[in-house]
Amino acid sequence: MADLVLGPLLRYVSDTEVTLFVETDEQCEVSILGAVEPTFRVEGHHYALVRVEGLKPGTDHPYDVRLDGEVRWPEADSGLPPSSLRTLGGEGPLDVAFGSCRVAVPHEEPWTKSKDEDERGHEVDALWVLAQEISRDDSRRPDLLFLLGDQIYVDEGSPETRAKIGEKRGTETAPEAEVTDFQEYTWLYQESWREPLIRWLFANVSTSMLWDDHDMSDDWNISESWVAEMRERSWWHRRQIGCIASYWIYQHLGNLSPAVLDEEEVYAAVRGNQHAEEVLFDWAERIESNGSGVRWSFCRDLNGTRAIFVDSRAGRVLDPGARRMVDEKEWEWIVAQTEGDFDHLLVATTVPWLLSPGLDRLEAWNEQVCDGAHGALAARQAEKLRRAVDFDHWGCFSHSFRALRDLLGEVAAGRRGAQPASVMVLAGDVHHAYLCEVGWPASEAAGKAPIYQAVCSPYRNPLSTKEQAVIRAGFTAPFTRVAAALAKAAGAEDPGIRWQLRDGPCFDNQVATLHLDGRTATMRLDKTVPGDRDEQSLQTSFERRLA
């Protein structure tokens, strides 16, 4: 008799249709609210993405999951409220929670300690606490949850997953306890999504997802030389295939609307297919061999808000002197999505566009030195520094930084449609949270809607006190002046804008929420605080009106 391995995960949601993802332990038919979908099989794993259509807008729809007609969700003995899915539409406000970076380790010592107390410490998961709050008070439930990278860590699995890897192939040779293939990736998703509160949260809140470096490897696509070095490693090809195939199944499919899914050739080939690995792995092989060649970015319209999700990892152009965060074809697609009339524009990208001013200027300096501004020897040393301190944000892809600056300026000025009330770039990655606002030169400032960079990280992976001190320094005036001088001496262009820190930086495990009500917008950042394991609550770090 079939049972659930993972899910249900509520994924795409519109006014009248939704998709839900499940993994099952054997081939079966999955039924949700009258919609039926057969599973497809990949290396012994069974999956289905169920499309439910014809729903009433702006409404909670209680649901269960049936496998071959037998109810398998909700779990009768979970102690959690029944599940429901909420469609968009209606007249009410929209709450969008977002953040990134969540390691899946046990909620017990030593993993609940701080990193200063124990190097294994990660404190308490902000999403786990949010789920507790929602289970007690449904008014705390956001409409949408954006997971902006590093949901899984190939280099930081749980003790259970590391033990499985040891039993499967040993950990004495590279890459030791890091994952290398599709099967091992499935273990990472299981450890991340099967915890009862997280599983219940994802069954009740629509999730949109992007990958970042730890989904593939720390420093993924940081530079051309890094890619060349990784391709020399015997296990790297297997990891790439496993990562691409598993990301497509577990994360990417649910980002897409039913209309887009209908145009997906790979999805059409695997749907209901009991030997889908042949199709999927061959497709992943072609992607790995030819560079990405796939648009992982996607776009959503959310009750008057346009949300563009930008893949900031897989589609990078890494040619020295011509680095781009995305290739030209994908950039043209992104530009096209900014046309139209909407109250707010959200651009979600895993890595921040605007770091602290000091670190931004250091990244601009590093890009120039890596490209030979101070000679070949300095370029080699700059490449080592680039990897050591993770200089891989928009600031060291200067062409793309300026292109995004100009595009957002056009949107804010109302030159690509009706002027929105606000423009917000959402990001994670950097293990701290902050809010800053863009300032334009006097000649360009008039008549623009406000533009913000809002960063929330981590859900669960905080920095040590020493690491926090380095981040704080990047926001100071002396550090920024020195970094700006270095960047200028290396030939880096001025960013053309300035940005002022409004709130933060905050270094807790945390989750951010945007409250969008017509043309008004508010951001709130909530952090975890010590408390009884089963009665955790979030505490607000800051709240600010944006529009």
* 10 membership: H or E segment, kind and range: strand 4-13
CA distance 422 to 300: 17
- C-alpha 214: how far from chain center: 11
**What is the arithmetic mean of pLDDT over 178-205?**
97
Distances (CA, A) of 416 to 49, 200, 295, 345: 35, 40, 23, 12
Interval 2-17: pLDDT, tens: 999 999 999 999 999 9
Say if residues 307 and 300 touch (Cβ distance below 8 Å): yes
Phi-psi region of 59 (alpha: psi -120 to 50; beta: other; left: phi over 0): beta
pLDDT given at position 215: 96
Say if residues 504 and 488 touch (Cβ distance below 8 Å): no
pLDDT given at position 530: 76
**Burial, 545: exposed, middle or buried (Cβ in 10 Å; 0-12, 13-18, 19+)?**
exposed
pLDDT value at 531 more than 80: no
pLDDT given at position 203: 99
Spell out where 60-205 has E strands. Answer: 60-62, 65-67, 70-73, 84-86, 94-99, 144-148
Give 414's pLDDT tier (boundaries 50, 70, 90): very high
433 CB-side CA count, 13 A:
29
pLDDT given at position 47: 99
Spell out where 220-319 has E strands. Answer: 298-302, 305-310
Give 157's pLDDT tier (boundaries 50, 70, 90): confident
pLDDT given at position 234: 95
**What is the arithmetic mean of pLDDT over 247-251?**
99
242 CB-side CA count, 13 A:
22
pLDDT value at 91 more than 90: no
pLDDT value at 443 more than 90: no
**What are the structural domains of the chain?**
93-252+296-545 (3.60.21.70)
**What is the arithmetic mean of pLDDT over 148-161?**
91
Among 303, 305, 294, 306, CA closest to 337: 306
Instruction: With 0.95 as the threshold, say if the pTM is over it.
Output: yes
pLDDT value at 292 more than 80: no
Interval 22-32: pLDDT, tens: 999 999 999 99
* 209 membership: H or E segment, kind and range: strand 206-210
Say if residues 329 and 289 touch (Cβ distance below 8 Å): no
CA distance 227 to 220: 8
Spell out where 470-519 has E strands. Answer: 498-506, 510-517
Pairing of strands 94-99, 4-13: unpaired
pLDDT value at 290 more than 80: no
Q: Can you tell me whether residue 144 is helix, strand or coil?
A: strand
Give 287's pLDDT tier (boundaries 50, 70, 90): confident
CA distance 461 to 100: 9
Interval 295-318: pLDDT, tens: 999 999 999 999 999 999 999 999
Q: What percentage of the chain has pLDDT greater than the value 90?
A: 90
Give the dihedral of Cα atoms 341, 346, 348, 354; nearest 10 deg.
Answer: 120
Residue 261: both structure tokens together? 């899914």
Interval 367-395: pLDDT, tens: 999 999 999 999 999 999 999 999 999 99
Sequence-separated (6 or more) residues with CB below 8 Å from residue 345: 305, 306, 308, 338, 408, 411, 420, 422, 423, 424
**What is the arithmetic mean of pLDDT over 514-520?**
98
Say if residues 266 and 276 touch (Cβ distance below 8 Å): no
User: Which region among 104-108, 124-128, 349-353 has the lowest average model confidence (pLDDT)?
Assistant: 104-108
pLDDT given at position 291: 63
pLDDT value at 534 more than 90: no
Could you write out the DSSP letters of every residue in 310-330?
E--STT-B--TT--BSS-HHH
- The dihedrals phi and psi of 420, each to the nearest 5 degrees, come to -75, 165
Mean pLDDT computed over every residue of the chain: 96
Start-end of H helices in 327-441: 328-337, 357-370, 376-388, 398-412
Q: What percentage of the chain has pLDDT greater than the value 70?
A: 99
Interval 50-60: pLDDT, tens: 999 999 999 99
Say if residues 320 and 371 touch (Cβ distance below 8 Å): yes
Give 171's pLDDT tier (boundaries 50, 70, 90): confident
Among 108, 119, 106, 102, CA closest to 159: 106
